[in-house]
Structure 1
């Protein structure tokens, strides 16, 4: 399905409900959850109206929506009752975790009820293959739990405070993606979900039945819990290497991406982006940076290789806190720090392909002030191309130029389902026949 580069409001799929239905639903939820389990207070409404879409000047300029009510379930068993109540009243329901997504995925475009899942934090089990937890468990907590049991998650996002349900519904990649791909490519072994029907119940899905509900923005079912893959814990080192020139750094990162054993994370930035990152002796101002999570057995060999390529080793660190710290400097986060250092100046586009290195100058020249943040992923390079923002039309105009260079482009300035949308819509037609789950996500 083709789609524009940036989102604009459409009323397609707007549920027909009004104040009377909202008031009736509020009474239902009060009986289910008690006075602390539901709120229409301005502070609660304001919090449930925000996510990470502030990174996009295009989305920031739009009123993406506000809920009428927010509820806070504390047990998985109550979720079907909440969903049944919303279906009975015809009120749309949007599920959210920590709200760390960047595309407005959890901002309720047509109002209604937001269900905050962050109280459902229980970790239920871990074995040699997988960890099982409720949707509100934070990814960093799961990684720590895995480490404590001699394991590690297959992957977790750069926004390490994201919830499990949020990452599975709206996330895609992160630390570990180099080896294991994205989160809809085998990471999920099972899901517990609730569909938006008048007889809603917890439904357990295994294997191939669970995969189709990953990265669907919650439009095809409410994720209540999940079992996701783990593997034996490796002895990781966080290495920081600086370069005088980012061309050399990016070429060295490309070379390192094929190293065996593979890094768990591999990021590179030019000096201007490094200068905006949090202060750290290993992030040398005025110099480009490679940051990598490496198996301890290969650190010396990799450092020798990077030194021969013109790099200077600034630090080698160990421990889970250091791996999490490095993860928080990957993917969208360098752009976030760049925007924080230079408010109301930069936008970014998500880009991929070998041209990010082989045609680096041309790629960075597409947008005024162009600066690329580079990530190595599963059998591909991708990154965030930052540029000085002027207008949505300017953003759109650069896409054909990038594609002509052999660069794939994904817009972070949209709110619609962006992975196999026709397939997801077909699933939602069965699991949400009234179109109440996070409506307004189709183009």
Structure 2
């Protein structure tokens, strides 16, 4: 049964859409729609409960900007909601249609338009792994990328991501200069292309695909280095944490990853458990090969073990330690026990004290998975330029308990970007929100693009009472 506010598509509109994309790229069967209406929202038991029954009325796969323009023009004229989809590796329901309507799969618009002089220009569906692998022989690499890099698209990353592997050296996507340009399509009867350069790109960044359809992305790259992967292990948490912070803050060590996992998180990583002893806390490093021997020697001098090292190799292939970091850590925990979920946290300079307080307050409910990054204004840090953030695992008991944990985090100075809501305003990332809302009015005057995810946008005309999910955290 359709959810409240579900927008169906007329038979005439369906036939017009089929004529634009062809039979092979037109989806209306229940199985296909179920697949294309989902992303990784089920990382959150709260979102799983609220979004499970949300489905589109139809879906199309576009491969050219002309097809996209024709589809958007039809949808705008008919006033039907549109939800964009790439690889759908997001975790907040960004690709889940709240009001039915039409899913537009952009993964077929995947050309790398240009890759030169330290800049990649690509269509929205270009895969990050493809970009990384094509850039590296030219002497370049992505500044940061998510643990889902093999599947993730460039537009999906900038629409819902914030940082990842590489952020220890280059910061997140919000770092000035990383995103160079967006081209977006408006949702109008005669769609226009708007170009947003440099700081203007923040009007679209991390907007969940609500205020313009990204049709082209330019990202600046970083010089490529031969990264060696190291596993550091210890049964003693404090010296392991101290060492992670020491290397994270050491500017003489070039690095791409500093990820810390509290025991027993390592036991969840079945494919790589042979690389380290059981019942140990772990650090996963990626460091420049020129620094790897010195880092390993420093770890051993600190009383830590170095049970495994993976030399640099190209093309990159498993095992990759980074495939068990960032939010892939949560995925492996869910495979081990579906009761695990997660938070997205920024700790202060007193993060050791904060860890102790959280363990004492919620014994057995929180496991610390930390990601050290280049400084973030919402966090403190191990040094003026290094922040201790992370994606701690939380053993889910109830929504009320989850809310209690988030509220306690706030009370002790731990910033939380709440991943248990599909609304931009409730996710903790409010920097530049006013200009995002302003662009929504300009680029999507009928409020058709991913409606409902930007709560302060005008209420869609097809909305009815009860059509928007309610969250306890609101």
Query: TM-score, length-normalised on structure 2?
Result: 0.86
- The C-alpha deviation readout for 1:165-205, integer Å capped at 9, x for no partner, is 11011111111112222213332111221111111033333
Q: Which residue of 2 aligns with 1:263?
A: 255
Residue 212 to residue 63, structure 1, CA distance change in 2 (3 Å): closer
| Distance in 2 of aligned mates of 1:405 and 1:240 | 31
Who is 1:333 aligned against?
A: 328
Q: Matched residues in 2 for 1:227 and 1:324: separation? A: 30
| Secondary structure, aligned partner of 2:306 | strand
1:316 Cα deviation (Å)? 2.1
Could you tell me which runs of 5 or more consecutive residues in structure 1 were left unpaired when the two chains were aligned. 1-9
Distance in structure 2 (CA, Å) of the matches to 1:364 and 1:41: 48
**Partner residue in 2 for 1:45:** 33
Q: Where does 1:125-164 land on structure 2 (aligned, <5 Å)?
A: 125-160=114-149, 161-164=151-154
**1:438 maps to which of 450, 455, 471:** 450
Kindly tell me the number of residue pairs found equivalent between the two proteins: 428
2:360 aligned with 1:376: no
Give the alignment of 1:266-281 within 5 angstroms: 266-280=258-272, 281=274
In the other structure, the counterpart of 1:364 is: 359
What is the CA–CA distance in structure 2 between the aligned matches of 1:26 and 1:76, rounded to whole Å?
Answer: 19
Out of 395, 403, 412, the residue aligned to residue 388 of structure 1 is 395
RMSD: 2.0
Find the partner of 2:90 among 94, 101, 118: 101
**Which residue among 345, 348, 351 is the counterpart of 2:345?**
351
Match of 1:342 among 308, 312, 337: 337
Consecutive aligned runs of 4 or more in structure 1 exceeding 4 Å deviation: none
Q: Which runs of 5+ in 2 are unaligned?
A: 376-386, 456-474
Kindly state the Cα deviation for residue 248 of structure 1 after the two structures are TM-superposed.
2.5
Confirm or deny that 1:70 pairs with 2:39.
no
Q: Which residue of 2 aligns with 1:314?
A: 307
Output aligned runs, 1:403-442, within 5 Å. Answer: 403-417=410-424, 418=427, 419-420=429-430, 421-442=433-454
Whole-angstrom CA distance in 2 between matches of 1:142 and 1:227: 12
Q: TM-score when scaled to structure 1?
A: 0.92
Change (3 A) 1:394 1:22: farther
Q: Select the residue among 274, 283, 288 that pairs with 1:290.
A: 283
The answer for the alignment partner of 1:240 in structure 2 is: 231
Alpha-carbon distance, 1:323 to partner: 8.5
- Paired residues of 1:274 and 1:284 also in contact (CA < 8 A): no
Structure 2 SS opposite 1:271: coil
